[in-house]
Structures are given as C-alpha cells and as structure tokens.
Amino acid sequence: MAEIKAQLTVNSDISSYGMSINSDMTMNKADSETGLELTGGLAKRAFTVNTQVDLVTGTTAAAGQTVTATKAAKLYIKNVGSSPDKYFIIGKGTASTTTTETPIDSSGTAYYRIGRLYGGDWMLIPWDAVSATGDITIQASDATTADPMYVEYMVFFE
C-alpha cells in the first residue's frame, strides 16, 4: 500500500550549544494509521500581478478530485524564487482586494493571514478544506508581467 511521508531537519548554531531537530511523519488518513494515498499533483503557478487570489479552494485538490473537510489533507507551498525581498503573503479564507483580517460572518466570509514565504521558503500545513473559509489565498509582493513570481504547491489527501 502506498503512503506519503514528510521529513524535516533543522540544524542551527544560534546558541553556544547548537540545535538540531529531526522529525518525520506519515501523512495518515483521518482517525486511522493508514497513510494518505492521493495527491492533486505538483503544480507551478506564475504571478504577474499583486492581487490576492485563491491558490486552492475549499474541497478542490485538482481538476476532478475532491477533498472532504472531514477527511485528512495536507498542503505544501513553496516560493521557488531566490530573491530575499520578494515574498508571497499566504492567507486562509475568502480572497478579496483587502488583506484585512475579519471574523467569519454569517455569509461565511473571512480572511486570516498565515504569513509570508520569502524566496526559497516553503510550508507544509494541515488543511481543513471547507467551502470558502477553507480557501488558501496567495498574494505576490512584487510581481510584474516582465518579472513574474513563481510558487509551487501540492495537496495530499484521502
């Protein structure tokens, strides 16, 4: 049976005694010790404007594949650029022309900033793929048609 594993290694000399973190996990299905087996595939997307948009929308991993909110899902995102001054703002909720954080209202509209991914930064997070409030948004800091910014991403799910 196929399974998906992730591994993280962090080494640092920020203190006199150093630091080392080594951790790995099998991405398991909800309430199970059985590993996740599905992926939306690795995608690469170019950004030529600085507008906030949905990178992945609640319930959708890729064309024809559905992620269920009550099931397990993980999301990998990487800024494939190398520039230290260009970043992507990652958020959760409904994409809009504003990046103001708002509580979820009766219409289900909300936006919460997760953080920035600078050149070479990446993230792997659990994803609760529920309607619009589960959307993962992205906004390029300094993209133009002449100098686009690129991100790669993948959804792992059951």
Q: What is the pLDDT of residues 100-156, one digit of tens each?
A: 555 555 555 677 889 999 999 999 999 887 765 778 889 999 999 999 999 999 999
Count Cβ atoms below 10 Å from residue 45 Cβ, excluding itself. 14
pLDDT tier, 79 (very low <50, low <70, confident <90, very high otherwise) = very high
CATH architecture of 28-157: Sandwich (2.60)
Give how far Cα 114 sits from Cα of 26, 83, 95, 119, 125, Å: 24, 20, 13, 17, 11
The pLDDT mean for the chain works out to 84
Domain boundaries, the chain: 28-157
CA–CA separation, 81 and 117 (whole Å): 10
Structure tokens at 78: 């990487």
59-74 per-position pLDDT tens digit: 665 555 677 777 888 9
Q: C-alpha 43: how far from its chain's center?
A: 12
Check if the beta carbon of residue 36 is closer than 8 Å to that of residue 27: yes
The residue among 40 and 77 whose pLDDT is bigger is 77
Q: Tokens 């909800």 sit at which residue? A: 30
